[in-house]
Chains A and B, each alone.
Chain A
Amino acid sequence: MSFFDDDENDPLSPPNRPNYGVRPSSSREGSVSGSSSFLDRLRSTVSPPPAHQYSENENDRSRASASIFDEGSTSGRIGASSNLDDDDDDDHGMGSVFGNEEEEEDEEDMNDVKKLGRALMRERGIPDLGGWKGELIDGVFDKLEQQQKMVNTLRSDPQTSEEEHFKLMLVQTEMERVKYLVRSYVRTRLHKIERFAHHITLTPEMHHLLSGAELSHARRYTDLLHTHFQHSALDSLPEWLRKMDDTYGDGLSMVSKPNRNTPVLIYCRKDCGEITLEGGERAALARGTTHLVKYRLVDRWINLGWAEVL
């Protein structure tokens, strides 16, 4: 939990920007402030400070370096790669980063890592299966790959100084952390998919929530499980007992479905209006409040992103 909280408040990767943007030879000033934010980062790995602590004097810088994986940093990386050939390009590279970055902050747009963290939180919080964030994952993968290439180039570059090697290590750690997020996200989904595999294969309405690979996994897993059950036990039972989709006398079906009555703890990011509870009571979901309600009642707010699962 605390890891994701870190994500929210504390931009994961301030060290990355100075790493590429600042070459000691070209801009003295940048290098100094770069390394001081670097030290902050180092301390923060022990105990992460709240974000506003360095937004005081290094506002721009920490924003600029909010993440390696957002749109702005793509241009930053291009600037950085040209650094390898020509140090004078530095300021252009940095400039373009600042520009893009600030626009994005104004739009309250989130970078990919934040989005990923949020997607993971949601996926873990809700009993149902959320939509597959294919674009996001693809984007993150592309960026991870680019980043890996950058790291490899810089590592094999003899000009890279000792200090920069150290920074590269931080970049790599950062990448591992992002990979961890992706892994958790994918595996959380897989767990749910396997749990409800049969239900998913039987319900075409759910298919759009899954990626192609996930859907075929669900189908094949259902087959595999049923074959296993058939061979282990069902084959030795009378024929009328061999089905896998019976409904019992008490209305319980053999096909397990997500229980949409599971309570979820939500935090309202926006004003979500009122909901009617079971007993006919009404409850207002005001902005900034936290509620423990049945998932069924608030699923559309969660899907819209107006409410967040905690």
Chain B
Amino acid sequence: MYGDLALQLVTSSHRSTLSTTPQLPLPKYALPLILSICLETRQLGQSITSAAEQHGQVSLSQDRSLVCNLTVQHLSARRNKRCLLAYLQTRVGGIKERWWDSGGSLAYLLSPSSSSSSTTGGDTSGMGSNSESEGTGDLRNNLSPQEIDFLRGYNNLMLDYKSDFLDVLDLTSSIDRPPSELMVDVRVLRDAGEVILESGERLDFRKGERFRLNRSGVERLIVQGYLEEV
């Protein structure tokens, strides 16, 4: 029946919370399903145009079965479009949420494995990664090329926007809860290599070590799962 595939697409996306929960991996882009929905919609479109051409104005006002037929096809086509966009929109929401969750770091978000990151440039092996990093790790595989473009575009957009504020504050750092302490005790979960802090200090983060550091300086590394608050 018309719209079955679209229904399948929306219900599966509606039932699963995967795409809206940043901690979990984003489900794979349902390309085959989307292509078949587009195909179905195109066929509907063709059938509508040809039917309308064949019969012409006169019969449109008289032939009730034809009118009914066209209406159903028309509604199905629109519904398909709506389902497609709803699916995409849900994913866009999820993608944006992941972007914010990662502290606005595109390279980290798209990195194929959890090993390399934009902040450090360290190429150490990423062992013992937690579920979040695994999830974001294969984000690139689960996105469609268009979605990657969108993410890039969004990233640029936000970079532009936050540059106005950057001399005073970093807009993309966490707003989960208000900061109560200036310093934070952290444990290194993954080797992050040598990092130069705001104060000009150089620190070599090795797995298992513990530090007491300025929160704002290492916020990003905490978000990205290199450090863990103790």
Contact = CB atoms under 8 A, between A and B. Distances in A.
Interface of A: 3, 45, 141, 144-145, 169, 172-173, 176-177, 179-180, 182-184, 186-187, 190, 194, 213-214, 217, 220-221, 224-225, 227-229, 231-234, 236-238, 240-241, 246, 248-249, 254
A188 to B, nearest CB: 9
Interface in B44-95: 44-46, 49, 75, 77-78, 80-82, 84-85, 88, 92
Nearest to B38: A236
B151 to A, nearest CB: 9
Contact of A224 (B78, B157, B165): B157
Contact of B180 (A45, A187, A238): A45
B165 A186 contact: yes
10 contacts: A173-B181, A183-B169, A224-B154, A232-B84, A233-B34, A233-B85, A234-B81, A236-B41, A237-B81, A248-B78
A217 B154 CA distance: 10
B216 A176 contact: yes
B23 to A, nearest CB: 19
A169 B168 contact: no
A182 B161 contact: no
Contacts of B85: 229, 233-234, 254
B216 A232 contact: no
Nearest to A3: B178
A182 B153 CA distance: 25
Given A169-B182, A236-B42, A248-B82, 16 more contacts: A3-B177, A177-B179, A182-B165, A213-B161, A217-B160, A221-B154, A227-B150, A232-B88, A232-B146, A233-B38, A233-B81, A234-B81, A234-B84, A238-B41, A238-B44, A241-B77
A180 B171 CA distance: 9
Interface residues of B, number: 47
B179 A173 contact: yes
B179 to A, nearest CB: 4
Contacts of B229: none
B69 to A, nearest CB: 17
Contacts of A180: 175, 178-179
B88 A233 contact: yes
Interface of B: 34-35, 38-39, 41-42, 44-46, 49, 75, 77-78, 80-82, 84-85, 88, 92, 96, 144, 146-147, 149-150, 153-154, 157, 160-161, 164-165, 167-169, 171, 173, 175, 177-182, 215-216
Contact of B45 (A186, A228, A237): A237
B172 to A, nearest CB: 9
A238 B88 contact: no
Rank and list the top 4 A-B pairs by shortest CB-CB distance, nearest first: A238-B45, A236-B38, A228-B150, A233-B84
Given A228-B92, A234-B81, A249-B75, A241 B41 contact: yes
Contacts of B177: 3
Nearest to A184: B175
Contacts of B180: 45, 173
Given A183-B175, A231-B146, A233-B85, A141 B41 contact: no
